[in-house]
Structure 1
Amino acid sequence: MAPSPPTTVRRALDWLFRDRNTGAMTVAQWPNLPLWLFAGFSLAAWSAQEQGPLASWLSLGADLALAWWAADELLRGVNPWRRFLGGATILGLAALFALRHAA
């Protein structure tokens, strides 16, 4: 008995999550340097939230690290899902920036 052809859903999931370099399914990856920096700056900004300018600078560092990660994923993501995450994060950061500076 011959194997059945892949379904449309299976093909769509393959296209979305399959790593173009290794062929493995990739939804998430171990954090890289920009994400570790984002986590560190975010934690430091949270702990320094009552210290005015220091918290602002740390928050800016977190935003820049996240933008670095998002741009890298958008340009070099291993599959469409990772590129979508990068693009969505950039849009989210742009919206957050606009909201912060609207007043």
Structure 2
Amino acid sequence: MPRPCGIGRPRNKPDSLTGDKAYSSRVNRALLRRRQIRTTIPEPRDQQANRKRRGRSGGRPPTFDADHYKRRNQVERGFHRRKQFRAVATRYDCEDQNVPLRAVV
């Protein structure tokens, strides 16, 4: 979403967030819900089992858009591709230990 014209702080709240199962905690979901950020986080099997075990008091399952989650893979591959060039950017591949490392600008 483009930033509206005018004075003030820039917008820094995302429209939606996609994460893997490690970020599916109750605390994370509550924080995102309070900030009105839509989430696409799959629910782990143990959380599903605990929710179903509690019956009606377990609540509804969180919403999950499988098509939106599939696009997460594209972002992950982009990050991994850029990580392959880390040696070039930080000069870890220098063989001579007496040469000081310098940052590539």
TM range (shorter): under 0.3
User: Which one has a larger percent helix, Structure 1 or Structure 2?
Assistant: 1
Considering only CA atoms, is the larger Rg found in Structure 1 or Structure 2?
2
Q: Taking structure 2 as the reference length, what is the TM-score of the superposition?
A: 0.27
User: Which one has a larger percent strand, Structure 1 or Structure 2?
Assistant: 2
Q: Taking structure 1 as the reference length, what is the TM-score of the superposition?
A: 0.28
Q: Which has the higher contact order (CA 8 A, sep 6+)?
A: 1
